[in-house]
Every structure is written in C-alpha cells, then in structure tokens.
Amino acid sequence: MDLERTKAIAEEIKRRHPDWGQMTFIRAGNSGAVFRLEEPRHGPVALKVYDPAFFSGPNALIEAQRVKLQEALRSHGNKHLIDVIEAVEIPDLSTWYILMELCPWETLDVLLTQVPDDQVQSLLSQLVDAVLFLDSRHLVHRDIKPANIAVSPEFSDLKLLDLGVLRRIGPEEGNGTDAQEKTRFIATAQYSPPEYLTREEAGGESGFGALNIYQVGAVLHDLIMRKPIFAEEAATLNRYILYKAITTKRPLIVNPKLPARLITLCKASLEKSPHERLAKVKLEDFRQELDSIEALRRRLGPISKNTTASCNPPSTWIWERPVRDWVTSAARREKDTLGPFTMKRVEGINFPAWDLSFSANRRYIRVDLCTSTDGNYLEVFFSIDRPSVVRISVLEIFDGDPLLQREEAISSLAQHILYMLDLAETQSDISAQGSQP
C-alpha cells in the first residue's frame, strides 16, 4: 500500500467536501488508510480511503464488490458491529472511500491481560451476537481476531471492526475465499482453521459456519490464556512453523479462574476437523452462561470406551504420580462441598487410570492418562460411566512446557471435577425421566 499516495488522495477528497472539518491520520492497513474526520451530519467519524492499486488488476471487481457489501450494511442497527455510514466511488481517482462509525476504544489484542474474568462471558456473547447478525444477512466476516475487536474502557461493551473481507454466504459464491480467486488466501492465518489454510474448506454455509466457530474459539482461547493463539510460532515469522502449528498442534487451554465449560467449549471449537467442529459446537453455545442438555450431549459425548486403546504406556508412567497428586489435591480442595473421597487405581489395563469416588453423592469419575493420538503430548481424561459414557479431555501435558504450573493444574482439575459431577446428576435426571411411563 502506497501510504503517501493514499494520504494525498484523502486530502483531495476532503478538499471536495468543504463542509468537512479537521482530518487526522489514524493508521494504515493493507488496502488503505484510516483517518479521524469531523463530519457535519454525524460528528466524529472514521474515513477509510483505499489505495487505487487495490482496485486494479485481476481482483479489481472482487474488491469493489466487497466495498459494496459494506455499503449494504448502512445503519444496520447492531450495536456490536461497526456501523457504515456510506461508501462512495470516485472514478476520476480510481478509488473508493468509506465513512464509518468512529470507535474510540482500544482493541482486544492490546487489552488481553486486562480483561476481568467476570467479563469474559459477556464479551464473548456480544461477539457472537455480531457474527450471528451478519449470518442473518447471509454474510461472513472472515477475519475475526482480537485486533479487529474493540472493547470499552470498562470492559462492558464490544464491537467487531473491519469489514474489509466481508462476503456473501452461499454455494454460488465459491468456497472460503472467492469464486474467482483459486489460490489467494483471505483472512489472518494465525486465527484461521487448518482447512482454510490448505484451501480444502467446504463451500457455502457449512464451510463458513466451521470458520466462524473456529475464529470465535480462537478469540476465546486468547481470553482464557491471556495471550494470542500460536503466539510462539507466529513470533518466529516462519510461515511453515506457523502452518504446522495450526494444522497439527493442540494449543494449551487452562485457566482455573474461568468456568470449566468455557475451557471445554474452546477446545471443541478449535478441533482441527471442520466436521468435528460443526458436530460439537454451535455459535449459540458461546452466548450461554449455562450449557443446555443438547449442547452437553453434542460437545461431551458419548465417546466409545476403546478410545484409549492407542495409548503409549512408556511415556505415561513418568507422569502417573504427578497426575495422581494433582487430582487428589483437587478433590481435597473441594472436600467441604463434596465430602470424603477415595481414589483407587484401576488394575488390569495398560495405562494409568483411577476411580475417584465421592461418598456424599455416590458418584464417581474415572480418571485416565494417555498419550494423544499423534503422540505429541499427554491428556488427562475424566469420564462418567453411569447412566451413559461421557468422556472429555480436561488437561494437556506438554513435556517441558513452562506454562502448566502445579497450582494451575490443581485448580483446573477441581473445576472439572465439579463440572463432571454436575453433569452426572444431569444425565441421571434425564435417564430417570426417560424411564418414567
């Protein structure tokens, strides 16, 4: 992007509007520059002026169509989505400009470490509200990430920004990028799912639905971990290293200060397979403070018991004692709520497993430790076996990973113990209701 040329065009546009007030440069992007402008009808607004080069070459028509899609959202009325005032083509300057709502708030990527724990769910719900609003208009944002999300100073309100790669949803529109663009990648790789990077995404609603779930899940990851997803790999500036992480690595997701349901929801939304993602998560799940029975069934099970058959015993024995210590300490931490407990080793199997039993509610949780299917890390699973099998991964252990501290592990496991016992009660109630005549 030619910044000096774009600034000169902005000055020419302002000269043609003598009623416009002071104009101040804010920032530059890949396609143009954004200015703060005093506009007589709307007060302070944001003026985006595109570099004319953006509308030249084989993609000129596509880029113009994207601007027109933004104009179609004029005065849309959703308070969690940046508003568009007008989009204007200037033929003699070979470019366009857009007047938008001016949002003075800082972006989430800057504020990640400052977001209060009790505001995470509210901000997440507002983000999904904006995404669902676009979906109701048969549109998809495609670049949902913390840098495109503004948050109010008191962390009570959120607004989704930057509609620059907005597009329609529909089979006739092609797949995840654009029908005419067979190879060019559209979006931010760090916050895009594997199928989007490899250009193997499905066309139409299912493909964009899987994309939305992943990108919202990636934002939730950042809110949970208080750091960008795949931050270490992105910092290398090596595209191959980042690609390998996105396509093969399961990011660590743990925060004992947040509800366990957000952890499991985030993990499910970041599934590498778009089919698994769509089967486990719906966008509406992110808006709920409590899981519905239907959502729990989708996300948590049932899963066949033979999933542990591929475990690699040699690497698990090293971690058997620490994991047992963590789980015991977690159960002891909740003794006032759950009462006395026992933790008994399950014999006759080739991987570490225990039955964690609580006398107060006569429920038990099966705990097992095994290697991931790709052999890159260990997973601690909790499962409830009555009346039906529900099995979830509650903790990942990466050798040498300094992020997973003992206290964090214990606090996270304690939350998941409560979550699983509550789920067991729910499942029991469902079973009892189903057996009634």
Q: Which CATH number does the domain housing residue 89 bear? A: 3.30.200.20
Is 229 found in the same domain as 95?
A: no
Q: Do residues 315 and 363 share a domain?
A: yes
Q: Which of 76, 101, 126 is the last residue of a domain?
A: 101
110 and 219, same domain (yes or no): yes
Residue 345's CB is within 10 A of a number of other CB atoms, namely 11
58 and 121 co-located in one domain: no
| Domain of 23, in residue numbers | 3-101
- The reply to whether 337 and 403 lie within a common domain is yes
Beta bridge partners of 43: 39
Do 138 and 67 belong together in one domain?
no
Q: Which of 300, 327, 356 is the last residue of a domain?
A: 300
pLDDT tens for the chain, 437 residues: list them: 899 999 999 999 999 999 999 999 998 988 899 999 999 999 999 999 999 998 888 878 888 888 999 988 988 999 999 999 999 999 999 999 999 999 999 999 999 999 999 999 999 999 999 999 999 999 999 999 999 999 999 999 999 998 988 888 865 554 444 544 444 556 789 999 999 888 877 777 889 999 999 999 999 999 999 999 999 899 988 888 899 889 888 888 888 889 888 998 999 999 999 999 999 999 999 998 887 777 877 776 544 333 333 444 346 778 889 999 999 999 999 888 888 899 999 998 888 999 999 876 667 899 999 887 767 778 899 988 655 567 888 888 876 554 567 888 898 898 888 888 877 776 554 444 444 44
Q: How far apart are CA 283 and CA 281, in angstroms?
A: 7
User: Residue 10 in 3-state DSSP?
Assistant: helix
| Same structural domain, 329 and 244 | no
Angle, in degrees to the nearest 10, between helices 204-225 and 120-136: 160
d(CA 171, CA 153) in angstroms, rounded, equals 40
Examine the domain organization and report whether 74 and 212 are in the same domain.
Answer: no
Which amino acid, one-letter code, is at 222?
D
Cα 108 off chain centre by: 13
Q: Where are the alpha helices (DSSP H) in 104-177?
A: 108-111, 120-136
Residues 178 and 258 in one domain: yes
Domain count within the chain: 3
Same domain, residue pair 291 and 328: no
State how far the Cα of 434 lies from the Cα of 375, in Å rounded to an integer.
Answer: 40
Strands 84-90 and 167-168, by their bridges, are unpaired
Which residue among 300, 320, 338 closes a domain?
A: 300
Q: What is the pTM of this model?
A: 0.76
Q: Is 415 exposed, middle or buried (0-12, 13-18, 19+ CB in 10 A)?
A: buried
Distance CA 396, CA 266 (A): 14
Q: How far apart are CA 296 and CA 303, in angstroms?
A: 13
Tell whether 36 and 122 lie within a shared domain. no
For residue 147, give the CATH number of its domain: 1.10.510.10
The verdict on 290 and 359 lying in the same domain is no
